[in-house]
Amino acid sequence: MTDNYTQFANRGLGKKVTKKLGLPQPAILRRYQPGQALITGPILVQGSTAGADALAASLLSWDLDVRRHAVPREKLGAIVLVLDELDRPEDLEGPVLAAASSLRDLSPSARVITLSRPAANSADPSQAAARQGVDGFLRSLAQELRSGATGNGILLADGVTATSPSALAAVRFFLSGRSAYVDGQFLTVTSPDGTLPADIGQPLAGKVAVVTGAARGIGAAIARTLHRDGATLVLVDIPAAGDHLAAVANEVHGTALQLDISREDAGQRIIDHAVQRHGHLDIVVHNAGITRDKLLANMDHARWSSVINVNIAAQLRINEALLASEHFRTSPRIVSVASTSGIAGNRGQTNYAASKGGVMGMVRASAPLLAENGGTINAVAPGFIETDMTARIPVALREAGRRLNSLRQGGQPTDVAEAIAFLASDAAGGINGVVLRVCGQNVVGA
């Protein structure tokens, strides 16, 4: 679906008119294309800790243009603030104000990234206050950035350093166009696990991935992105979507499985299909979901139960089969699609929000079970994404949904797919039990 306003606001006359009238001016975002540079312009790494020095050295080893001190009026592609040793709230002032002097030098679609520690991991009130201060600082800064620039944070759990594999992978993800619609978010690296890919362009080479709800929209975008990154695909959707499913499967050279995932035996059928056709199974993406919106006062059993059954109960049953299978034991990856509705709620969606909140609870509780085999389970929570579903929203509500975030526009299905592809990779092997919002920093919700 085309956002005509964003196109208008980026043309000569439209740009002048929207600026003069004080209207939103959404930028054309820098989205990933194979072969493009990771970032355009120098990267300023700020911080006086050993972690800052080590991270700067790692970025230099990627043949990136790295600065340790700002050069006045030099256009920057990114600012990386390493705040991994904060002990007092006063410690924030130096690095934060140093970064402030370079903000006007950021290029369009630039990146600001912080690396810090989770406040919840500290029993020291002063240290916890300083760490939590990074949260408020980064989220506020992200709302101040313009021209498609984004601000995101990486939280390093105990035992994780700024150069642990998944920390470096998270830095790469946030620097790249893959994270174009991720803004104002924190991603926790939970362990020093993870393996950086030998082939950056094909990080999923040799992997067999299942995507449910793959016939259209976000599911089809996930299939295309995983295929681009080297995965072999098994695409699942209901029989009624068979023609669309077959078309997507042919496009990505995968196999199609027509299946209602709410069936009791759905998990075993998915495993059997993957193993019989491709020999093994490495990644499962739970994308399938439905809505049956109604105010709770008008909600009935059919609407409530169907949404809960498809959106969360089916995932739980499939995961139970996966965890019991000998074919899903080698660094398995599960990524579920949640929703910002499950975080902030949404009028008329009590059933849907309950199901998506359930997905996030399931992910957190299942993380230790996957870790036993070196695996991970995470979730992506999309905000307003331009799909056939959002195209049916009345115009006024649709425009409001698009503009109520820091980037002043809706996301694309590919934005959700990029986050899922990252979390499904071995590079993200140290990220487990987390929820990453892909919402352009929607102003609703945490």
Q: Does domain 208-438 have CATH number 3.40.50.10950?
A: no
Residue 5 annotated as catalytic: no
Strand order in the sheet with 186-189: 66-67, 43-46, 76-82, 106-116, 150-156, 186-189
> Using CA atoms, how far apart are residues 430 and 112, in angstroms rounded to an integer?
22
| Choice among 5, 32, 181, 352 that is catalytic | 352
User: What's the pLDDT score for residue 445?
Assistant: 46
Averaged over 95-109, what is the pLDDT?
95
Is the pLDDT score of 121 beyond 50? Answer: yes
The string over 207-219, giving b where at least 16 C-beta atoms fall within 10 Å of a residue's C-beta and e elsewhere, is bbbbbbbbbbbbb
Going by pLDDT thresholds of 50, 70 and 90, the confidence category of residue 443 is low
Q: Can you give the residue ranges of every domain in the chain?
A: 39-189, 208-438
DSSP codes joined into one string, 121-155: G---HHHHHHHHHHHHHHHHHHHH--TT-EEEEEE
Contact 132, 119 (CB under 8 A): yes
Domain 39-189 and domain 208-438 have a common topology = yes
pLDDT of residue 444: 55
What are 336-363's pLDDT values in tens digits? 999 999 998 888 999 999 999 999 999 9
What value does the mean pLDDT take over residues 83-111? Answer: 96
Residues 68 and 56: beta-carbon distance below 8 Å? yes
CATH of 39-189, one of 1.10.10.60, 3.90.600.10, 3.40.50.720, 3.30.450.40: 3.40.50.720
Per-residue pLDDT for 271 more than 60? Answer: yes
DSSP state of 424: T
Residue 154: phi and psi, rounded to 5, are: -120, 125
> pLDDT band for position 19 (50/70/90)?
confident
Q: Give the bridge partners for 211, in sequence order.
A: 235, 285
Q: Is the pLDDT of residue 398 over 80?
A: no
On the question of pLDDT at 77 being above 90, the answer is yes
Say which residues have a Cβ less than 8 Å from residue 31's Cβ, sequence separation at least 6. 177, 178, 180, 412, 414, 415
Determine the average pLDDT of the residues in 33-39.
93
Determine contact, residues 190/182, Cβ cutoff 8 Å.
Answer: no
Residue 209 near residue 234 (C-beta atoms within 8 A) = yes
